A and B are shown apart, each in its own frame.
Chain A
Amino acid sequence: MPINYYIFLSIALFCIGVVGVLTRRNAIIVFMCIELMLNAVNLLLVAFSKMHYMSSVLVNPASTAGADAQIFVFFIMVVAAAEVSVGLAIIVMMYRNIHSVDINFLNRLKH
């Protein structure tokens, strides 16, 4: 599969995530769009890993050229999980205080 297709797909998903972050006011939806962006990146990393593997396995059948990228994706997922737990805790606490998840209410940071 030409690598271009994967690149376009990943970029499309990423930009949709960006639009979602900019457009939505619900904090939880924003968070979810961030997850969407992370996943787009994951997909691209895996695609690249296969691309490198492919070009190197023709030379040396026993190489593990693209493994680093997949390990990286693994760690991204690790971090995403941690981040989601903490982020949601914050949102819950915020809801407890102001009874809304509207991000415009977060301008209290200014005061």
Chain B
Amino acid sequence: MDNQNMTKLIYLVPLFPLIGFLINGLGRNFLSKSLSAFVGSGSVLASFIMSVLIFMEAKTPGFSVVTVKLFDFIKTAKLDIPFSFQVDQLSTLFLLIITGVGFLIHLYSSAYMKEEQPHHYARYFAYLNLFVFSMLMLVLGSNYVIMFIGWEGVGLCSYLLIGYWFKNGDYNDAAKKAFVMNRIGDLGFLLAIFWMLGQYGSTDFISIFSRAGDTAPAVLTGITLLLFVGATGKSAQIPLYTWLPDAMAGPTPVSALIHAATMVTAGIYMIARSNILYTLAPVTPMIVAVIGLATALLAATIAIRQNDIKKVLAYSTVSQLGLMFLGLGVGAYTGAVFHVMTHAFFKALLFLGAGSVIHAMHHEQDIRNMGGLKKHLPVTHLTFLAGCIAIAGIPPFSGFFSKEEILGGVFAHNIVLYIIAVFSSLLTAFYMFRLYTLTFLGKFRGTSEQEHHLHESPLAMTLPLIVLAVLAVLAGFLGIPELFSTDAHWLSNFLAPVFAESTVHQQAHVVSHSTEWMLMGGMVAATLVICFYAINKFRNYEKTGIEATGFAKVLENKWWVDEIYDAIINKPLKGFSLFLNNVVERSGVDGIVNGVGKFVHYSSRQLRWLQSGQVGSYILIMVVATVVFFIIQLFGK
């Protein structure tokens, strides 16, 4: 089959970043900065080129799923888990996103991290390459175990990169928090894998999905719920989302790549991949949708009162992820994947733009001290505006198309969910434009020293911004809904084979075209109103030192979720471990160990009495022993 030539070379795609990781990691004391950047970015570029070639093949009609086996990973009598990659439409799409956006961010980082020392610089690129490698493993794996390897790998790299500036104790705490919360989710994922092994005897996608129809609903519910627990950890949903805002302690390009475009979408990918399981499970989709929606709403409410530019974007990410999960929960799989793609573009754009602003403001991140940057940072300003418009969902930018698809699916499913989803989308528009206005419009509120240093970022940083802005604007046209022109939804057609089974089982919710026009129109109008309202409200913002009161205070303190977690979970656990240390360890374990010593001491003192030196007693013992031996010999069997 000649449309599989490139596909057979799929192993090259994760191989390049792995080599980049090794070179940068092992040679970090020898390589110059430009060489490290070249190796790091070049490897991802090479992967991107391979991904494009493979995508070309996957695009041709009649392309069937290809499994490329590399070697036997675990092979015993009962268990066969090969190390193989599955190349199909879903994974090639994700490949493009990961390597494409990844390359742009590598390019951006080469300028952003210029102030670091050479060996730290090389370490940064090594970690980034390792991350890309793990993420590629995650999406390419043909069974849940390989996916889990990538899953763990991205969790590790997230920890390494959040705590990149390891000399700061707070950053290390944030990194630990991210890792521990990820781990909690991973436990759910692992349990799901074990259950699958018990139920199906294999973790292979193809073999499990073909047998999904014969499984008991209770088993399906259990497995999908456990998988979803893993997804909540990785993709920052309630209750495991608090690590994501704290993860902003890492360098901004890291936040862009990991916590906006790729790692956090791993959960979406996993559920999209397992779509048949979720369609057939009775209760889980509803749970997924509800949790996604709740997260979207909660994060949006918190975001409207955050003052750190990156924190706003972080909560926005959590909120958008919630929206994607909502889409998955109602069965709009294509819509969710579409939104992953567009979100990768505009969220990375927004983060990189924020990085540009922070760079210009010389590491200032509080938006109350910004303002009026439009004049000084023109390229950043325009691209950031493009990103804001896209995320708000204003046509014809990409966010509009993907959001509408999800919202359409929600409306067809359940009106109440739809209303709440619309409300959180409007909140999104509000806080994004608040952010935009406070940062770029109005008067500059920082110190005059900062004002002197304001300058546009170098080309290596602005070029990715421009590319991503173009994508954020145009990507929507990949998914033109039925409403506008029939059969123009390229993405849906492309991904159809992946979701074919699910589509069969789902009821087709038909919403009349007129209703759709109405909803869409109403939505756009409301969004535009909110945007202008936000711009107006914050255009003349004056920095006041007044503390927030009432409900605003609750929002500003993130609904005190972190504090609640601390009280409910951290303190009891700490108390428990203190108890274990003082009581069990000291008295118990130490007691046993010391007790053995004391016992030996004591018994030896007692035994010493035997050696009395009295010959008579020696002989007595001798005779007794002889009697005993006789008894054993003569009467023992």
- Are A and B a genuine interacting pair, yes or no? yes
Q: Which A residues lie at the B interface, using CB under 8 A?
A: 18, 21-22, 25, 103-104, 106-111
Q: Can you report 26 residue pairs joining A to B where beta carbons are below 8 Å apart? A: A18-B623, A21-B619, A22-B616, A22-B619, A22-B620, A22-B623, A25-B616, A103-B614, A103-B615, A103-B616, A104-B614, A104-B615, A104-B616, A106-B613, A106-B614, A106-B615, A107-B612, A107-B613, A107-B614, A107-B615, A108-B613, A109-B613, A110-B611, A110-B612, A110-B613, A111-B613
Residues of A near B615 (CB, < 8 A) are: 103-104, 106-107
Which residues of chain B (605-630) have a CB below 8 Å from chain A?
Answer: 611-616, 619-620, 623
Closest A residue, CB atoms, query B627: A18
For A18, A25, A108, the residue with the greatest tally of chain B CB atoms inside 10 Å of its CB is A18
Closest B residue, CB atoms, query A18: B623
* Contact residues of A: prevailing secondary structure: helix
Q: Please measure, in the bound complex, the distance between the C-alpha atom of A111 and the C-alpha atom of B611, giving whole angstroms.
A: 11
Report the minimum CB–CB distance from B610 to chain A (whole Å): 11
Which residues of chain B (582-618) have a CB below 8 Å from chain A?
Answer: 611-616
Q: Please measure, in the bound complex, the distance between the C-alpha atom of A76 and the C-alpha atom of B211, giving whole angstroms.
A: 90
Q: Please measure, in the bound complex, the distance between the C-alpha atom of A21 and the C-alpha atom of B614, giving whole angstroms.
A: 13
Residues of A near B616 (CB, < 8 A) are: 22, 25, 103-104
Q: Please measure, in the bound complex, the distance between the C-alpha atom of A107 and the C-alpha atom of B616, giving whole angstroms.
A: 10
For B611, B615, B620, the residue with the greatest tally of chain A CB atoms inside 10 Å of its CB is B615
Residues of A near B620 (CB, < 8 A) are: 22
Residues of B near A108 (CB, < 8 A) are: 613
* Contact residues of B: prevailing secondary structure: helix
Report the minimum CB–CB distance from B561 to chain A (whole Å): 76
Q: Please measure, in the bound complex, the distance between the C-alpha atom of A104 and the C-alpha atom of B613, giving whole angstroms.
A: 8
Residues of B near A22 (CB, < 8 A) are: 616, 619-620, 623
Q: Please measure, in the bound complex, the distance between the C-alpha atom of A110 and the C-alpha atom of B610, giving whole angstroms.
A: 12
Q: Please measure, in the bound complex, the distance between the C-alpha atom of A87 and the C-alpha atom of B535, giving whole angstroms.
A: 119
Closest B residue, CB atoms, query A21: B619
Report the minimum CB–CB distance from B260 to chain A (whole Å): 84
Name 14 extra pairs, CB < 8 A, besides A22-B616, A25-B616: A21-B619, A22-B620, A22-B623, A103-B616, A104-B614, A104-B615, A104-B616, A106-B614, A106-B615, A107-B615, A109-B613, A110-B612, A110-B613, A111-B613
Q: Please measure, in the bound complex, the distance between the C-alpha atom of A26 and the C-alpha atom of B590, giving whole angstroms.
A: 52
Q: Please measure, in the bound complex, the distance between the C-alpha atom of A34 and the C-alpha atom of B601, giving whole angstroms.
A: 38
Q: Please measure, in the bound complex, the distance between the C-alpha atom of A108 and the C-alpha atom of B615, giving whole angstroms.
A: 10
Residues of B near A111 (CB, < 8 A) are: 613
Counting contact residues on chain B (CB < 8 A from A), the size range is under 10
Closest B residue, CB atoms, query A104: B614
Q: Please measure, in the bound complex, the distance between the C-alpha atom of A21 and the C-alpha atom of B611, giving whole angstroms.
A: 19
Residues of B near A106 (CB, < 8 A) are: 613-615
Q: Please measure, in the bound complex, the distance between the C-alpha atom of A109 and the C-alpha atom of B616, giving whole angstroms.
A: 13
Closest B residue, CB atoms, query A103: B615
Residues of B near A109 (CB, < 8 A) are: 613
Q: Please measure, in the bound complex, the distance between the C-alpha atom of A110 and the C-alpha atom of B620, giving whole angstroms.
A: 18
Report the minimum CB–CB distance from A65 to chain B (whole Å): 27
Closest B residue, CB atoms, query A107: B613
Report the minimum CB–CB distance from B115 to chain A (whole Å): 80
Report the minimum CB–CB distance from A12 to chain B (whole Å): 16
Residues of A near B623 (CB, < 8 A) are: 18, 22
Report the minimum CB–CB distance from A15 to chain B (whole Å): 10
Closest B residue, CB atoms, query A23: B616
Residues of A near B613 (CB, < 8 A) are: 106-111
**Pairs A-B, 9 closest by C-beta atoms:** A107-B613, A110-B613, A103-B615, A106-B615, A22-B620, A107-B614, A109-B613, A18-B623, A21-B619
Report the minimum CB–CB distance from A21 to chain B (whole Å): 6
Report the minimum CB–CB distance from B471 to chain A (whole Å): 95
Residues of A near B611 (CB, < 8 A) are: 110
Residues of A near B619 (CB, < 8 A) are: 21-22
Q: Please measure, in the bound complex, the distance between the C-alpha atom of A21 and the C-alpha atom of B623, giving whole angstroms.
A: 10
Q: Please measure, in the bound complex, the distance between the C-alpha atom of A18 and the C-alpha atom of B614, giving whole angstroms.
A: 17
Q: Please measure, in the bound complex, the distance between the C-alpha atom of A24 and the C-alpha atom of B619, giving whole angstroms.
A: 12
Which residues of chain B (73-129) have a CB below 8 Å from chain A?
Answer: none
Q: Please measure, in the bound complex, the distance between the C-alpha atom of A91 and the C-alpha atom of B612, giving whole angstroms.
A: 21
Closest B residue, CB atoms, query A108: B613
Report the minimum CB–CB distance from A13 to chain B (whole Å): 16
Q: Please measure, in the bound complex, the distance between the C-alpha atom of A109 and the C-alpha atom of B612, giving whole angstroms.
A: 10
Which residues of chain B (177-215) have a CB below 8 Å from chain A?
Answer: none
Q: Please measure, in the bound complex, the distance between the C-alpha atom of A103 and the C-alpha atom of B616, giving whole angstroms.
A: 7
Q: Please measure, in the bound complex, the distance between the C-alpha atom of A33 and the C-alpha atom of B623, giving whole angstroms.
A: 14
Q: Please measure, in the bound complex, the distance between the C-alpha atom of A53 and the C-alpha atom of B567, giving whole angstroms.
A: 97
Residues of A near B614 (CB, < 8 A) are: 103-104, 106-107
Q: Please measure, in the bound complex, the distance between the C-alpha atom of A38 and the C-alpha atom of B141, giving whole angstroms.
A: 87
Residues of B near A107 (CB, < 8 A) are: 612-615
Q: Please measure, in the bound complex, the distance between the C-alpha atom of A107 and the C-alpha atom of B613, giving whole angstroms.
A: 4
Residues of B near A18 (CB, < 8 A) are: 623
Q: Please measure, in the bound complex, the distance between the C-alpha atom of A109 and the C-alpha atom of B623, giving whole angstroms.
A: 21
Report the minimum CB–CB distance from B362 to chain A (whole Å): 86
Q: Please measure, in the bound complex, the distance between the C-alpha atom of A104 and the C-alpha atom of B623, giving whole angstroms.
A: 18
Which residues of chain B (302-332) have a CB below 8 Å from chain A?
Answer: none
Q: Please measure, in the bound complex, the distance between the C-alpha atom of A110 and the C-alpha atom of B617, giving whole angstroms.
A: 14
Residues of B near A103 (CB, < 8 A) are: 614-616
For B613, B619, B620, the residue with the greatest tally of chain A CB atoms inside 10 Å of its CB is B613
Report the minimum CB–CB distance from A19 to chain B (whole Å): 9
Report the minimum CB–CB distance from B461 to chain A (whole Å): 90
Report the minimum CB–CB distance from A7 to chain B (whole Å): 14
Q: Please measure, in the bound complex, the distance between the C-alpha atom of A108 and the C-alpha atom of B614, giving whole angstroms.
A: 9
Q: Please measure, in the bound complex, the distance between the C-alpha atom of A108 and the C-alpha atom of B616, giving whole angstroms.
A: 13
Q: Please measure, in the bound complex, the distance between the C-alpha atom of A21 and the C-alpha atom of B622, giving whole angstroms.
A: 11
Report the minimum CB–CB distance from A81 to chain B (whole Å): 23
Which residues of chain B (400-453) have a CB below 8 Å from chain A?
Answer: none
Report the minimum CB–CB distance from A16 to chain B (whole Å): 13
Report the minimum CB–CB distance from A38 to chain B (whole Å): 16
Residues of B near A104 (CB, < 8 A) are: 614-616
Mark interface residues in B244-270 (1 if CB within 8 Å of A CB, else 0): 000000000000000000000000000
Report the minimum CB–CB distance from A25 to chain B (whole Å): 7
Q: Please measure, in the bound complex, the distance between the C-alpha atom of A104 and the C-alpha atom of B618, giving whole angstroms.
A: 11
For A22, A103, A108, A109, the residue with the greatest tally of chain B CB atoms inside 10 Å of its CB is A22
Q: Please measure, in the bound complex, the distance between the C-alpha atom of A106 and the C-alpha atom of B613, giving whole angstroms.
A: 7
Report the minimum CB–CB distance from A108 to chain B (whole Å): 7
Residues of A near B612 (CB, < 8 A) are: 107, 110
Report the minimum CB–CB distance from B332 to chain A (whole Å): 93
Report the minimum CB–CB distance from B104 to chain A (whole Å): 89
Q: Please measure, in the bound complex, the distance between the C-alpha atom of A106 and the C-alpha atom of B612, giving whole angstroms.
A: 10
